Structure 1
Amino acid sequence: MTDRTTQKYEKEGAPASAAPKLAKALGFPQEYFFRPVLDEIDAERVNFRAGRAAIRSARDSAVAAGSTGIEIMRWVEDRFTLPALNVPTFESIEPETAAQLLREEWGLGIKPLPNLVQLCESRGIFVMVLPDAALEVDAFSLWHEGRPYIFIARQKTPERARFDIAHELGHLVLHRHAPVDETSAAQEKEADIFASALLMPEPLLAQYFRPNPTVDEILECKQIFQVSAFAVATTLHKFGRMTDWIYRKVCVELTRRGYRTGEPDGMGSHEQSRLFPQVFGADKAGPVTVARIARELAVPEEDVLTLTFGTRFRVLQGIGEKLASTQELERPNLRLLS
C-alpha cells in the first residue's frame, strides 16, 4: 500500500473490501474490523512502571492489550462467579502505613507473602500478562468500571516481576483518584515505598536479619521473601539495619556476583495465575478454550493466550481423576486461596 492510502485509512477508515487483506497483514480476524468500538483505556489515567523511558509505540501496545484484557475478563465474569472485590483505598496515607493497613485488611499478619498473582486474584484484582510489543512499559495498573487491573511484563526475573506487582498494587490503593503526572516521580516513588513495605515490613526483617548482615546471609534469606538481593539490601539500609559503608560494600559484592543484571539461583519460575487454569475448564455451554474466547470476541488467539498466562488446557480436578463433566457445572464458583 502507498503512504497516501495508509494515511487515508488511518483518518477515514478502510473500506469493507479491504478487510481480508488487513486481517491477513495484521493477524486479526476479519470480524474484528466490523465490531463496535471498544471502551478504550484512558492512557492519561495509567501509571506505566517504566514511565517516560518506554517509547510511545510500546505504551500504545500496552493500552491496546489492556483493552483486550478487559474484554476477556468481562467474558469470564459473565460465565463464572469470581472472588468479591476487596481492595481498600488509602489515598493521602503514607505508603508504609498503607502497606501495613493492607496487610491487616487482608489478614496477612507479619509474614512473608505468598504468590502475589494469586493473592491479588483472591481479592478481586484481575492480573494479566502483556504481549512482547508492550514489554518496555514493564507493568501498569488501572481502575476500570469499578474493577482493578494489573498488567505485567515478564521479561524480568521472577523476583523483579513480583516487586512490579506489589508496586502496581500500591498505585491501586494509593492513587485511585489521583491524576497521573508523568513529569513527577512522586507517585512512582510512593508505589516503590509501598511495595518494599508490603513485601519486607521492618518487623519481619528484624526476625531474619542481624544488623549489617553479610552478602551470604542476604542471599540465604532473600529466598524467604522472594525478592531480589538488591531489594533486600536497599530495604535493610533504609531501615537503618545496615550502615552506609556496609551497604556500599554489599552492593559491590552483589554486582560482582551478577545480581545487578540478574538473580542467580533465584525463583525457579514466574508466579502463575490460579484463576485462569480454573476458567479453562468446562461449563454447560461447552469447554472453555483459548480458541473459543478468541472466536467469540473476534481477537487473535495469541493475544488471549498471552494475556491469560499462556493457559490452554482444561483443568484436572485431581490426580488420576477425570475432567469435570460439562453437565455437572452450572456456573462455576471460583474460590481462590491465598
Structure 2
Amino acid sequence: MSDFVGTNLRLIRLFHDLSLTELGERVGVSKQFLSRVETGAESVAAALENSLAEELDVLPEFFYHLDPNPIADEQCHFRRQLTTKVVLRQVARARGEMLKRLVGVLDEHVELPHYQVGEADPESPETIERAAEKFRSLFSLGLGPLSNVTRIAENAGAVVMKVHGLANEIDAVSFATKRPLIALNSSGRSACRERFGIAHELGHFSLHIGVLTGDRLTETQANRFASAFLLPRSTFASECGLAIRGTRLNWPGLSELKLRWGVSKAAIIFRGRQLGVFSDDQARAGYVGLNRHGEALQESEDHLIANEEPEVISESLKVMKEHFGVPQSAVAREMRVQPGLLQGLLMSSNPESIDNVVSFLSAGRGVRTIREGAA
C-alpha cells in the first residue's frame, strides 16, 4: 500500500478552514503531532486515520492518492493577493484544489468546451487592448454590451463556480490549471462586481501564463484587460458623453450606462478616464461622489442587474446522472470524499434538485456552444 500523503491532510484541513489545534482537539492528538503528520515525519495509526476521515468528510483512501499535478503558486491568481492574509489565501487555494479535483472527474465523463483563451503580451496598454479585442473577435461577440460574461468564460473553456467560505477580502480567485477555474465569492457580490471579476481572471489567463501575480503591475494589467473586454474603446468611448453634462459628471447618464453595459459606475468612471473622455478632476469627483452617497462597495442600481449563474458544473452533473447513470454519490467516490463534502462544495448548484433548466450540455457527449448573440 502507498504511504499516507501528509499534504492531502493539510489540503482537506484547510478546505474546512481548520487550524492544527482545532483539528487536533477533534481527533484527540496535539497540533505538534498533526504538523509532523502533514510533513511526513510521523506515521498514522488506523484508528487516527479513520477519525481524520470521518471528521474531514473524506474516504480513507483520500489520504493515499498523490496528485501528480498540484496547483503551483504561479497558477493561482488572487485579487489583492498582497493585502490578503496568508491563511485566507491558503483556504481559498484549498477550495480551488478540491474544485479542480471535481472538474477532473467531470472531464473524464463529459466533453467540456475546448479551452480557447489565447496567450497575449502585457507589455503595454495597447497590447492589452488588442488582446481583449481579439478575444471578442474569436467568439464573434461584436463591440456592444455583453449579456452574459459567465457563459462566455465557460464557452471559452474555463469553469466558473460560486464558492462558499472565501474570505470577504477575496472577490475571486482563479487557477490556471489544465482546465482553468474561476472561483467567485458566493457572499452576495453584485452582478457587476462578479462580471468584472470574471473578466479580470480571463485577463490573468491571457496575460500571465507562468507568472506569479498579485502585485500592482499584474493586477493593473488584468484590470485593463477586463475594462477593455467589457467596455471596448471603439464603441464605449463615444457613449461616455452621456455621462457628462457641461464640465461635470451626469449621474443619471452614468446610471443609464451602467444598466446598458452591466458594469459598475466606478468601472465606467475608471474606463472613461482611461480613454481620455473624463478628466482627472471629473474622475476624482466621481469617486468622491460615490463615497459620499455610500456607493463605494454597493451601488444603488445593483439590484436591477441579475446575477449570472454558472452552468458547466451543474449541467455536467445532470448529464452524467441522466444520460450516463453516474449519480453525485459516484462522483464523490471518484473524488475520494463523502457525498456531504461534495454537496457542500456545490452549495446550491445541485442538479439533482433542479428540474427546469436550459441544458448547457447536449444530451450525449459534447457541448452546445452558445454565442453571445443567442445568450
- Are residue 71 (structure 1) and residue 71 (structure 2) matched? no
- Which residue number corresponds to residue 230 of structure 1? 266
2:177 to 140, 144, 152: 144
Deviation per residue, 1:233-268 (Å, 9 max, x gap)? 121122222233333333232223221021223155
User: Which structure 2 residues correspond to residues 200-239 of structure 1 after superposition, within 5 A?
Assistant: 200-210=231-241, 212=244, 213-239=249-275
In the TM superposition, residue 53 of structure 1 has moved relative to its aligned partner by: 1.3
For residues 247 and 106 of structure 1, do their structure 2 counterparts lie closer, same or farther at Cα, with a shift above 3 Å needed? same
For residues 79 and 201 of structure 1, do their structure 2 counterparts lie closer, same or farther at Cα, with a shift above 3 Å needed? same
- Which residue number corresponds to residue 90 of structure 1? 120
The letter of the residue matching 1:196 is S
Structure 2 CA distance for aligned equivalents of residues 206 and 68 of structure 1? 42
In the TM superposition, residue 300 of structure 1 has moved relative to its aligned partner by: 4.8
- Which residue number corresponds to residue 124 of structure 1? 157
The letter of the residue matching 1:74 is G
- Are residue 271 (structure 1) and residue 303 (structure 2) matched? no
In the TM superposition, residue 3 of structure 1 has moved relative to its aligned partner by: 3.5
- Which residue number corresponds to residue 292 of structure 1? 330
Deviation per residue, 1:68-110 (Å, 9 max, x gap)? 2122112111111222222211125521121112111221111
Structure 1 CA distance for aligned equivalents of residues 365 and 213 of structure 2? 41
In the TM superposition, residue 38 of structure 1 has moved relative to its aligned partner by: 5.9
Structure 2 CA distance for aligned equivalents of residues 134 and 300 of structure 1? 24
TM-score, normalization by structure 1: 0.85
- Which residue number corresponds to residue 258 of structure 1? 294
Deviation per residue, 1:289-314 (Å, 9 max, x gap)? 3x432233122545534654631134
- Which residue number corresponds to residue 18 of structure 2? none
Structure 1: give runs of 5+ residues left out of the alignment: none
Q: Which secondary structure does the structure 2 equivalent of 1:280 belong to?
A: helix
Q: Which secondary structure does the structure 1 equivalent of 2:199 belong to?
A: helix
Structural RMSD (CA): 2.8
Structure 1 CA distance for aligned equivalents of residues 225 and 314 of structure 2? 30
In the TM superposition, residue 117 of structure 1 has moved relative to its aligned partner by: 1.5
Spell out structure 1 runs of 4+ moving beyond 6 A: none
The letter of the residue matching 2:307 is H
- Which residue number corresponds to residue 14 of structure 1? 44
In the TM superposition, residue 285 of structure 1 has moved relative to its aligned partner by: 4.0
- Which residue number corresponds to residue 54 of structure 1? 84
1:154 to 186, 192, 212: 186
For residues 6 and 114 of structure 1, do their structure 2 counterparts lie closer, same or farther at Cα, with a shift above 3 Å needed? same
Percent of aligned pairs with the same residue?
Answer: 25
In the TM superposition, residue 120 of structure 1 has moved relative to its aligned partner by: 1.0
The letter of the residue matching 1:274 is E
The letter of the residue matching 1:273 is P
- Which residue number corresponds to residue 311 of structure 1? 349
Deviation per residue, 1:204-258 (Å, 9 max, x gap)? 2234332624011101220111111111112112222223333333323222322
Aligned positions, number = 326
